[in-house]
Structures are given as structure tokens and as C-alpha cells.
Structure 1
Amino acid sequence: MPPMAKHIGSLSNILHHFNTVWSRRQLPNVSMFHYTDYRADLVGELIRLAGVLGCSLGRDRAEELAQHAKLNSMRARAAELAPESTEGIWRSNERFFRAGGSGEWQEFFDERVYRRYYDRINQLAAPDLLAWAHEGRRGCDPAGPVG
């Protein structure tokens, strides 16, 4: 993995950050969670998170908590929940919790940019990490076999 670039939000830095955790994913104190997995099964992922943390969480309570973790609920509490909400870095704290879709970035890419993106990510990270980065556990389960 190449060293981190100067720009914190660069593709290189994001994949470097992912790879730092990915390379340690088999350690007992490392668990990876992906937004796509939360979107697919929020209740199940909350139960999985509770298990990782050593907490008991029944399905009924997880369903109750999931109501607070949905975008509409978080948007309603944006002043409390948006990162750095008191610093005025967002045009709108509510817009921080926008649509919440996965893969929306693709609609902004034409074929040339799409090819350039895929060429670049394949220089920066291994296929299994990229599968997880794009699709969550559906793409590659970090708890699965390493190799």
C-alpha cells in the first residue's frame, strides 16, 4: 500500500485507512461494519455490533434502537448528531444526513472517469478489500478466510 497522500479525503488516503483495518481484520479486537450492511439489515447489524461489544441485545430492543438510527430520526436531531455541528462546517446540519444511498457516486461518472477510477483503485488495494469497500459483506466478508 502506498504511503498516505497529503489530502486527507483523497481516494488514496481512504483506501489506505481501509487497508490499515483490513490487514488486521482477523484480530479478536477488530470488527468491520459497512454502511451497505446497515442499509440491508439495520436490526441484524445492531445485534452483531452488540455481540462484538459483549452486550446482550434482543431483537425487540434492536428494532426499537433501529428506529433512532434511521436517517429521518437522525436528521431530526442533526444539531446534536452531525459531526462538528457547532462549528458551522456544514451548510446545513440536516443535509449531512441526506439520502443515504450506496453507490450514488456512480451516477456522476462517465465511462472514461469510471475506467480511470477502477484503474486507480486496483493500483491502491487488493480485490477483496475493494469488494468490501464497494459492497460491504455481500462483496467480501471481512470475517471470512484470509488469503
Structure 2
Amino acid sequence: MTDRKLYLGPLTDNRRWDMVNIRRDDVIVVTPPKCGTTWMQTIVALLLSGDPDVETELSVRMPWVDIRFREMSEVAERLEAMTHRRSMKSHTPMDGLPLADRGQYICVFRHPLDAHFSYRSHIRNIPITFFDGWYPEDDTDGITFRRFLDGGPEGFDGDAMPLAHIVRHYKAASAVADRPNVSLFHYADMTRDLAGTFARVAALLGVDHPPHVMAQLVQAATFDNMRANATRFAPSGGKGFMRSDTDFFQSGSSGKWIGTLSEEDLSAYDYLMEGYLSDEERAWLEYGDAG
């Protein structure tokens, strides 16, 4: 752990990765929350199985290592016992993960404002009260967006997912993107070209399926199909963890802040982004390849 940043909050602890023995063919999906994590995990599960009807069971078969809700010894034992090709999930930035030459690290990003508004809805859908002060249900004073702008990238703040944490994720992934086993994807590109996303991920994983099978896998991962089968695709779906599995897939759309944030809000966001990133970096983080 000495060569990695510490990310320790009420929800996550990246020291848990010290108990994971990363294998040559592991797949690790690394994202800020609500940036396409479950979507990319589903794509990986479909490609590794070649079965459009595969039961993904993400929370068990492709566990979120960072989360503190399960004893890490149990998670590590379960991972070590797996004989199939493994995949895991992390909401820790790349500078807090053990970066091995083996395994594939797939990093997914989304427009920070889209991720923020999606996280607002997600907080209302899960039985966790840690962040009620940041995300009050009746936010007449605009506390939520202020905390999004002024929160730090680590500790309690990091788990509440402010802008600084999203940018830290992006910078940490970009810093190692020249490695052959680190790849960056964008939610907007996945939305525009899901079949192309499947082809790119398949190449990274070294898997190949006939065109008719690939078409079935792509169809299984469409937003409409995942939402219609939320019990199957949502993390811990059907187990009562979330108030609504269907609401986990709220809409999958972009631009929810338009007409909601004030000009003052947007100016404050622009000011921070100009300080955080170059124009080119910002364009990609917000809009992907089309940026």
C-alpha cells in the first residue's frame, strides 16, 4: 500500500485490494460512481460468457472490492476460489489501486454533471444515510451542488463523489493510459456506438464470437433491456438492497442539468473545470470522442 494513495471513507477502503492476488487474465472495471460501471461490467460478463441470458450476479461474481459492507477476508477467499476468468469493480482512482502488468483495467467516465445528477437519484434509492447532509431530500438552499463543487477528492468527501473526485479519477487513469493493459472508455461513446464498444472490449479481453452472437450480446446490454430486466442486471438485484431495482436504471440520458442549474452554478462549475483540466482534457471528460 505504500506506493499508492489512500482512499478511505465511510463506504470504501482501497486497502482492501492488498488482499487480492491479481491474476494474468483478471478484468478490473474502474470508474467514479454512476459513470457506466454496471453497464461495462455487464458487457464484460456477456463477452466472457458468450451467453445473452447469462445471470450476471455482479455483486457476487464480479465484486466491488473497495466497499466496506462485506468482510474483506470473505471476499478475498471467494475471489481466490474462483476457477473461471474473474472480473472485479472499483470506485478507487487508479493511483490508489495495485497496478500490475497483468490483468486489464477498464476505466469508464461520464460528463461530471450527468454523473452528479445520476448520483443524486441513486442516493435516494439506497438505504445509506452517510450522505444525507450532502444530498438533502428537500434541497431548497442548493447545498448538494455546492458540496459537489467544493468537496475534496479523498476521505468522506471522495465517497460523496464531488467534482474533485471525478477529476482525480480521470487524471489518475490518463496518467497510466499509455500502458497496454489500461483503457479509457466514455459513457457518451458507449451510448452512441454500443456495438463498437463491444468490439473494442472483446479485443481487449481476447474473446471472439460469431456476428449473430455478438448482435444478441449487444441487444442484451441495451439500456431498455437492462431496465426492463432490472432484477437481473442491477447490482444485488432482487435482494431488496435498493428501494427499486428499476430506478437504478433511471433513464440513461444526458443533460439532466440543463434548465435545472442556474447560470451562476454553471459559471462556478466552468471556473473549476478550467483550473482542473486543459480544453482538450475537459472536452473528452465531458463528451468523449465527440468532444
TM-score range, shorter chain: 0.7 to 0.9
Q: CA RMSD, aligned part only?
A: 1.9
Q: Which residue of 1 aligns with 2:153?
A: 4
Q: Which residue of 1 aligns with 2:6?
A: none
- Number of aligned residue pairs: give it: 136
Following superposition, the deviation at residue 92 of structure 1 comes to: 1.4
Following superposition, the deviation at residue 50 of structure 1 comes to: 0.5
Which entry has the higher C-alpha Rg, 1 or 2? 2
Retained in 2: the 8 A contact 1:47–1:57?
A: no
Partner Cα separation in structure 1 for residue 259 and residue 217 of structure 2: 32
Following superposition, the deviation at residue 87 of structure 1 comes to: 5.8
Partner Cα separation in structure 1 for residue 277 and residue 264 of structure 2: 20
Q: Which residue of 1 aligns with 2:273?
A: 121
One-letter amino acid of the counterpart of residue 4, structure 1: P
**Larger relative strand fraction:** 2
Q: Provide runs of 4+ in structure 1 moved above 6 Å.
A: none
Cα gap change, 1:133/1:106 in structure 2, threshold over 3 Å: closer, same or farther? farther
* Stretches of structure 2 lacking an aligned partner (at least 5 in a row): 1-151
* Stretches of structure 1 lacking an aligned partner (at least 5 in a row): 140-147
Equivalent of 2:207, from 27, 31, 55? 55
Cα gap change, 1:58/1:110 in structure 2, threshold over 3 Å: closer, same or farther? farther
TM-score (norm 2): 0.43
**Larger relative helix fraction:** 1
One-letter amino acid of the counterpart of residue 76, structure 1: A
Equivalent of 2:227, from 60, 63, 75? 75
Identity %, equivalent residues: 30
Partner Cα separation in structure 1 for residue 211 and residue 189 of structure 2: 17
Equivalent of 2:285, from 115, 133, 140? 133
1:131 aligns to what SS in structure 2?
Answer: helix
Following superposition, the deviation at residue 104 of structure 1 comes to: 2.3
Q: Which residue of 1 aligns with 2:261?
A: 109
TM-score (norm 1): 0.81
Partner Cα separation in structure 2 for residue 47 and residue 110 of structure 1: 40
1:74 aligns to what SS in structure 2?
Answer: helix
One-letter amino acid of the counterpart of residue 83, structure 1: P
